[in-house]
Structure 1
Amino acid sequence: MSRTIPRTALLAALSLVTAAGATATVFGTSAGAATAGCKVEYQITNQWNNGFGANVIVTNTGDPVASWNVEWSYANGQQVTQGWNAAITQSGAAVSAKSLSYNGSLATGGSTSFGFNGSHDGTNAVPATFKLNGVTCNGATDPTTPPTTPPTTPPTTPPPTGGRADNPYAGAKVYVNPEWSAKAAAEPGGTRVSNQPTGVWLDRTAAIAGVNGGMGLRAHLDAALAQKGSGELVVQLVIYNLPGRDCSALASNGELGPTDIDKYKTQYIDPIAAILADPKYAGLRIVNTVELDSLPNLVTNVSGRPTATPNCDVMKANGNYVKGVGYALNKLGSIANVYNYLDAGHHGWLGWDDNFGASAEILKQAATAEGSTVANVQGFIVNTANFSALKEDHFSIDDSVGGTSVRQSKWVDWNRYTDELSYAQAMRTKLASLGFDSHIGMLIDTSRNGWGGAARPTAAGPLTTVDTYVNGGRYDRRIHLGNWCNQAGAGLGERPQAAPAAGIDAYVWMKPPGESDGASKEIPNNEGKGFDRMCDPTYTGNVRNGNSMSGALPNSPLAGQWFSAQFQELMKNAYPAL
C-alpha cells in the first residue's frame, strides 16, 4: 500500500525510479467543486535511447462525465509521437488527450486508459500535475513499480542453422498489445493482468490497416520495437481469414466465401508478408499462429461422421483450406525472423483415436501444399481460445474404478487424453513421426483454462462409480467437453512463460481474455460472423456436445468484441489465483 507524501518528496523519488518502471499516481479535487475530482496514474512502461512508451490510467472520482480531456505539460521537452485509445495533441510542452467515441463515458469511480510512444532528450521526468476536464489532480502518493513485462524466461537457446532460435520465446520478452492492455486496465482489478502479452488477431483484411481507428499491423510492430529495448522480443500474430473459415462454427465464420482463395492470397496473406518482410522489423521475433480450427474440420465434420456439416464437405472438396494454409506457410515462412505455429486443435476435439492420426495427416498435407515444406513450420499451437484444463491431477487415463476404465466415463468418453499437456506432447511426437522437424515445439493457450475459485476440486471424486470419480475430481467444470463459447465459471490459467515443460515452447495467452467467442443472440454485422446457438445460454445442445446445455455466459457481444462480464469472471476464477 502507498502512503501520502509531499510533492517535493514525490518528485525526488520519481527521479530515482528507472525509466522502464516509473509510475506516478496523482489524485485531486478542485477547490471550488467538492464533487469534482480525478486520479491519474502515469506509467513509463519502457524506454530506449531517446524514446519511451507510456500508459495513462484515468479514474473519475467526481460526478459522471460523458467525455474527458486529460491535460499535462512536459518540463523536459518530451514529444508524443504516436498514441492509442485517445486523440492526443501537443502544442509546445502542453499535451491534451481527449476521449474517443467509444470510451468517453466515465461514471463516478470509473476508469479508462490510453497509451502513447514519445521521444525525449535524455531527461524523462513524470509530469508534475494533471487535469481532467479542467480539474487539477493536486495530491500525490508514492510512486510504485508496475509489473515487469512478462514472461520471465530461461536463457536464450542458441539458434540452429538458418538463424532462427530453436525456441523464439527463450530469452525474450513478449509484446504487450496496448489496445488490449488499456481495456483490461480499465476494468476493476484489471491492472493485475493488463501488462500480460496476448495475441494480435488479424481476423479480416481490414485488420491489416486497422479497424475503426484502431492499430493496424504496422502500428503494432512499431509499438513492439518501442517495447523491445536492447533485448529480444516476440510479437504474437493470429493469421485467421481462410476462405469459408471454420465451417462448423457460425460464430467464427469469416469475410471470405468458400471459393475466395485468390482474395485470401493477394489481398490478405501477400500484404501481411510484405509488412513482416520490412527490414525495419528484422530484429523482432514474429510468431504467427496460422489458421485456427479450420483444418481438423476436414477430418471430424465431413460426410460419414455424426457431426458432418455441408459447409465442411464443400471445403474438403475444393481444397481451399489446404491450399490457403500451404500458401500462408510458404509466403510467411520465407521471412527469416518469422516463426510459424500451425493450429492443432485441442484434446477435447482431436484426442480420440479416429481423429488424432487423421488430423496430424491433414496438417502434414497442408504444410506441404502450394510450394511449402515442413521446414516452414516451427511448431504447433493447441487449445487456442478453448478451455481444456492444462493438467488434470486427480485422475489419469490409466485409472479404473471397479474394473471400469476412466476412458469409459461420460466425461472422457473413450478419449485417449485427459488434458492439454498430455495431448500436446503426444501430438508433437506424432507430427515428428510424419516428417516434421524433431525440434518442433508446442504452444498451449492457457488464457482461459485455469478453472480456479471455490469450485476447483482439491482431491479425487468418490469411488462410487467411474463417473463420480472423474466428475468429482476434474478441474474442467464445463457441462460437456464439447462446449466452447464464453464458458461460465472459467478462469485465467497459467501466466505466459517460456519452456514450461518438455516439448512445450511456451504457455501463451493467444486468445486475449475478455474478448468474446461469439454473440449470445443474432447481431447483424459486416464482419461475416454468424449466430451460433452454442453461444446462447438457453441452448439445449446438439450431437457435438452430447445434447447438453451450452454453458455460455449471457449477453455476449460478437466474436472479438470486449465482454466485460467474461473478463471479470476469468479474473475471479483464475488459477493460479491473482
Structure 2
Amino acid sequence: MSSNLTRRLRTAAAAVVLSAATIAPLAMSTTAAHAATRVDNPFVGAGVYVNPEWSANAAAEPGGSAVSNQPTFVWLDRIAAINGVNGGMGLRAHLNAAVQQAAGKPYVFQVVIYDLPGRDCAALSSNGELGPTDLPRYKSEFIDPIAAILADPAYASLRIVTTIELDSLPNLVTNAGGTATSTPACDTMKANGNYINGVGYALAKLGAISNVYNYVDAGHHGWLGWDSNLQPAIDTIKQAAQASGSTLANVQGFVVNTANYGALHEPNFTVGDSVNGTTVRQSKWVDWNQYVDEASFAKGWRAKAIASGFNSNIGMLIDTSRNGWGGAARPAGPGPKTTVDAYVDGGRIDRRFQTGNWCNQSGAGLGERPKAAPEDGIAAYVWVKPPGESDGASQYIPNDEGKGQDGMCDPAYTGNARNNNNMSGALPNSPLAGHWFSAQFQQLMQNAYPALGTGTADTTAPTAPTGLAGTATASSVALTWTASTDNVGVSGYDVYRGGTLIGSTNNTSFTDTGLTASTAYSYTVKAKDAAGNVSAASAALSVTTSGGTTGDTTPPSTPGNLAATTTASSASLTWSASTDNVGVTGYNVYRGGTLVATVTGTSYTDTGLTASTAYAYTVKAKDAAGNLSAAAAVTATTQAGTGTGGAGCTATYKVSSDWGAGFNADVTVTAGNTAIKSWKVTWSFAGNQQVTNLWNGTVSQSGQSVTVNNAGYNGAVAANGTTSFGFGGSYSGSNAVPTLTCTATS
C-alpha cells in the first residue's frame, strides 16, 4: 500500500446518518460504547459505516468526492479476507473503525458473507475458493471465525447487518434440476444439499449474536419475478432458514438487486398497462413477468414471504448502487403506443439488452443514495455492491482468488439461455471481480440518477474530440481521436455506436469488438470533465468492417429449399444447408431486407406478426471469413386465425423466446360474444416438443397431444375478454407452431 493511499485511508469520510428523509454526517466523539438495543429496522435513526478503503478509491477519481462519503458493504468473499488481503483491512479492523466512527451513537456496520461451497454455480467470474464438497471448511474456516469476531463485546454497540450468500439459493430454483437453464454445477449443489445446509449454518451461527441482523439474498425481479420462480424461491430459502439448526427467526429480511442493475422504479409504464388491447406483460422486455422494477418486486416478495411463514416484521433492502440509469439516454416519458414493444422499449429507463444481463453494464449510473425506510416495507436503500468494483473480467486474468472468466463480462459475447441469447452489454477492459474499475466508476457518476451535485461552479463543457479515425478487421473497429481541452481537465471519453453508449475510456483510443463482417458502423465520441459537463459529439465516423481475415473470398452456396409455414402471428422458416470451402458458421435471416436473426441451424420462427399479412424473407449463409452467400427468398402470408372457435372461445399461440434446445410460449384465450365459465385448449405438436412447466393453467401431455385446462382463478372470462397462460418447453429439431382448438362452457 502506498503512503499516499495510506493518508487517504486515514482521512477518508467517516460516517453518515440514515434517516427516512436524508443522509447527514455524524460527528465524532469519545462517548463510551453501549450495547445495541435490538430494533425492527436497524437503519432507522442510525449512522452507517463508511469503508475507508472504498472511500479512498472513490475520492481518488475525478469528481469522486461527491460520493466518497457514502456507506457501502464490506465484502468477505474468501477466507483470507477475514484477516485482510495484501495489507488491506480485515474484518476486525473494519469493526474497530466502525466503533470509532459511531462515537457511541447508534451505528450500522454492513458486511457481505460470500464464500459458500461451489458458490454462484451459474457464473464463472464469481466462482469462489471452496469446492462443492467443502462444507466443513466453510463452517470451520469461514463462518466460525466471522461469528467469533462479530460476537466480541467490543462490537456489541454496533447494529451488524449481513447479506447472506448472494445468488446461490436462487440458482437452485432456476438453474438446477433439469431446467432449460440448468448447469452441471448447479445440479451438483442442488443434489448435495450444501447450499441449503451452508446457508442454514451461517444463519444459525450469526443469528445467535444479539446485535446481528441477517438479510438473505433474494435475486431480482428479472430473475425471480415470474410466478413459476418467486414462490419456489421463497420455499427454498425457507428450507435453508430451517436447516442446520437455524429457525426463521434468524432472518431479519431479504435483499434484492444485489450487485445488479434492475431499475428501482419504472416511471413510464406499469405491469397493468396495455397497448391496443395487448398487456405490457406480453412485451419482449417484460416477457410475462409480474414485476417491472425492484421496488414492486421487493414488496411483492415481502408479502409472499410473510404469507409463507416468515416473521411479519421482516424488512426488505434494495441495492441501488448501480440502478440509476440517468444521463442523456434516460427516456423523458412513455414510449409511443403503436405496439406494446414500442411502448415499453421507448419508455423503460433500464437500458440493458435483457434483464438477465449482470456484468459491468454499459450505460448504468449510480442510483438512489443509501436511505432508511424510504418506502413502506422497505427497510433501506443500500449500496451492497461498492460502485467502481468490477463484476468480473472481460477476458481471463490469471489469479489466486478462484475467479474465472464469464462470457457475460465480455462485450463481444452473444449471450446464453439465461439471458435469451442477447448481447452481454458489458463494458470492455474490465478487471477481476471486486477489483477497482475506474472507467465504470466514472460512467456511474456521469449517469447517476438522481444526478450528483457538480461540486464546482464550472459550466463550460470540454471541446469536442477531433480527428476521429478507425481501422477495421472483420469483427472489430479500433478508434482513435485527438484529445479534447477543458478548463478543469478532461476526465474521460464516452464512445457511442449508432447513438448508443458502448464504453468509456480515459485514453484517446477504444476498440469495439464482436462486430459483423462487411457491415457499416457509425461512431461518435464525447469528452467529459470532473464537473459533469459533456462535450458536443465528435464528427460522426462511418467504418465498414472487412470481409474476413483468412484470405478466403469464396462465399457459401445459397441456402436451398427455403419454405415457410404460418399461423396468424408467426412464420416458421426452414431451408437446406449451404456448403462452403471453409465451412458455414451460420445463417442471417432478413424480413423485408432487415436482419431479424442469426442462427446456427437451418430453421427459424419469426413471431409477433400481424394476421393476414404478407412478409418477404431472405436467408443468407455466412462463413468464418465473413463471406455471405446469395440470398434465398420466400414470401409468407400469415393466416387469418390460429385456432378453431368452437364453443365460444379461440386461442392464439406465440413463441416468446427460443434458444435452440428449449423455448417459452404464451397462449391467449379469447371468449366469444358470450361470457364463459371455463375453457380448455388442445393441440398436437408437429415435432418432439415437451411441456416442462406451465403457469396459469393445468396441463397434461400424451405423446404429441397437449391439453390445458384453466386454473381455478382464470376460467371465467367476460364476453370478448381475454386471459392467458404460458409454458416452458424443450425440443430438438423443429419447433413449429401448432394449431390450437379452444372449447368453453358458458
- In structure 1, the partner of 2:309 is 435
Asked if 1:194 is matched to 2:89, the reply is no
Per the normalisation by structure 1, the TM-score is 0.74
TM-score (norm 2): 0.58
Partner of 2:508: none
Spell out the pairing of 1:167-316 with structure 2 (5 A cutoff): 167-316=41-190
Distance 2:14 2:75 in 1: 24
Aligned to 2:221: 347
Greater share of residues in strand: 2
User: What CA deviation, in whole Å up to 9, does each residue of 1:526-559 have, x standing for no partner?
Assistant: 1111110000001111111121110000000000
Amino acid at match of 1:291: E
Q: Hey, what's the Cα distance between the residues in 2 that align with 1:314 and 1:222?
A: 39
Distance in 2 of aligned mates of 1:301 and 1:326: 20
Match of 1:114 among 3, 6, 9: 9
* Paired-residue identity, %: 69
2: CA distance, partners of 1:264 / 1:374: 21
How big is each residue's C-alpha offset from its partner over 1:48-73, in whole Å with a ceiling of 9 and x where there is no partner? xxxxxxxxxxxxxxxxxxxxxxxxxx
2:230 — aligned with what? 356
The answer for the alignment partner of 1:498 in structure 2 is 372
Give the direction of change, closer, same or farther, for the CA distance of 1:365–1:460 in structure 2 (3 Å limit). Answer: same
| Contact 2:59–2:68 (CA under 8 A) maintained in structure 1 | yes
Give, in whole Å, the separation in 2 of the partners of 1:365 and 1:154. Answer: 36
Q: Distance in 2 between matches of 1:304 and 1:320?
A: 18
* Structure 2 unaligned residues grouped into runs of 5+: 23-35, 453-746
Encode CA deviations 1:135-167: one digit per residue, 9 max, x unaligned: xxxxxxxxxxx8972434479xxxxxx951110
Distance change in 2, residues 1:116/1:576 (3 Å) = closer
Q: Deviations over 1:334-388 (max 9, x none)?
A: 0000000001110000001110110000010000000000000111000000000
**Separation in 2, partners of 1:514, 1:296:** 25
Counterpart residue number, 2:395: 521
Matched AA of 1:149: V
Is residue 14–residue 50 contact of structure 2 (8 Å, CA) maintained in 1? no
Q: For 2:92, what is the secondary structure of its paired residue?
A: helix
Which ranges of 4 or more aligned residues in structure 1 deviate by more than 6 Å? none
Residues 441 and 505 of structure 1 are in contact (CA less than 8 Å); yes or no, is this contact kept in structure 2? yes
Q: Which has the higher contact order (CA 8 A, sep 6+)?
A: 1
Distance in 2 between the 1:148 and 1:543 partners?
Answer: 43
The question of whether the paired residues in 2 share the 8 Å contact of 1:203 and 1:241 is answered with yes
Distance 1:562 1:279, change over 3 A: same
**SS of residue paired to 2:379:** strand
* Alpha-carbon spacing, 1:413–1:562, altered in 2? closer, same or farther (3 Å): same
* Cα deviation code 1:487-538 (max 9, x no counterpart): 0000000000000001000000010000000000011111111110000001
Q: Distance in 2 between matches of 1:337 and 1:303?
A: 37
- Check if 1:550 corresponds to 2:417: no
Q: Which of the numbers 270, 294, 308 marks the counterpart of 1:420? A: 294
**Inter-partner Cα distance in structure 2 for 1:287 and 1:560:** 20
In structure 2, the residue matched to 1:380 is 254
Tell me the alpha carbon deviations over residues 301-332 of structure 1, each in whole angstroms, 9 at most, x when there is no partner: 01331111010000000000000000000000
Pair 1:149-2:16 in alignment: yes
| Rounded Cα–Cα distance in structure 2 between residues aligned with 1:114 and 1:417 | 41
Which whole-Å CA distance do the structure 1 matches of 2:37 and 2:91 have between them?
24
SS in 1 for 2:222: helix
Unaligned runs of 5+ in 1: 1-84, 87-97, 104-111, 118-145, 156-161
Question: Could you tell me whether the CA contact under 8 Å between 1:150 and 1:195 is conserved in 2?
Answer: no
Contact 2:394–2:405, Cα closer than 8 Å, also in 1: yes
Structure ID, larger Rg: 2
The 8 Å contact of residues 460 and 469 in structure 1, kept in 2 or not, is answered as yes
For residue 268 of structure 2, what is the amino acid of its counterpart?
H
Per the alignment, in what secondary structure is the counterpart of residue 230 of structure 1? Answer: coil
- Shift of the 240–395 alpha-carbon distance from structure 1 to 2, 3 Å rule, reads same
Task: Report how far residue 429 of structure 1 moved.
Answer: 0.6
Query: SS of the counterpart of 2:337?
Result: coil
- Does the residue aligned with 1:231 lie in a helix, a strand or coil? coil
Distance in 2, matches of 1:219 and 1:147, equals: 14
- Post-superposition offset of 1:481: 1.1
Equivalent in 443, 447, 451 of residue 321 of structure 2? 447
2:345 aligned residue (467, 471, 490): 471
Is the 1:153–1:169 contact (alpha carbons within 8 Å) kept by the matching residues of 2? no
Equivalent pairs counted in the alignment come to: 439
Task: Give CA-to-partner distance per residue, 1:245-264, whole Å, 9 cap, x none.
Answer: 00001111100000000000
Deviates more, 1:302-311 or 1:185-194: 302-311
Q: Which digits, 9 at most, give the CA deviation of each residue in 1:54-104, with x for residues without a partner?
A: xxxxxxxxxxxxxxxxxxxxxxxxxxxxxxx55xxxxxxxxxxx347xx9x
Give, as a single letter, the amino acid of the residue that structure 1 aligns with 2:186: C
Q: Is the 8 A contact 2:372 2:381 kept in 1?
A: yes
Map Cα deviations across residues 281-302 of structure 1 (whole Å, 9 max, x no partner): 0000000110010001111001
Counterpart of 1:302, as a letter, is A
Residue 115 of structure 1 aligns with an amino acid whose one-letter code is R
What is residue 436 of structure 2 aligned with on the other side?
A: 562
Q: Distance in 2 between matches of 1:403 and 1:546?
A: 26
The match for 1:460 is 334
SS in 1 for 2:125: helix
For 2:108 and 2:238, locate their aligned partners in 1 and report how far apart those are by CA, in whole Å.
26
Q: Distance in 2 between matches of 1:230 and 1:316?
A: 45
Rounded Cα–Cα distance in structure 2 between residues aligned with 1:320 and 1:147: 39
Q: Which amino acid in 1 is paired with 2:239?
A: Q
Match of 1:80 in 2: none
Summarize deviations over 1:93-147 as a string: whole Å, max 9, x none.
xxxxx347xx9xxxxxxxx833169xxxxxxxxxxxxxxxxxxxxxxxxxxxx89
Q: Do 1:153 and 1:172's aligned partners in 2 also have CA atoms closer than 8 Å?
A: no
In the TM superposition, residue 410 of structure 1 has moved relative to its aligned partner by 0.4
- Find the aligned partners of 2:249 and 2:281 in 1 and give their Cα distance: 36
> Structure 1 residues 147 and 274, CA, compared in 2 at 3 Å: closer, same or farther?
closer
CA 1:463–1:147 in 2, change beyond 3 Å: closer, same or farther?
farther
SS where residue 114 of structure 1 aligns? helix
- CA 1:263–1:226 in 2, change beyond 3 Å: closer, same or farther? same
Whole-angstrom CA distance in 1 between matches of 2:430 and 2:99: 34
Q: Distance in 2 between matches of 1:383 and 1:496?
A: 14
Distance of 1:148 and 1:343 partners within structure 2 = 25
Deviations, residues 415-438 of structure 1 (Å, cap 9, x unaligned): 110000000000001111111100
For the residue of structure 1 that corresponds to 2:312, the secondary structure is coil
Secondary structure of 1:252's counterpart equals: coil
Per-residue CA distance 1:419-470 (angstroms, 9 max, x = gap): 0000000000111111110010000000000000011111100011000000
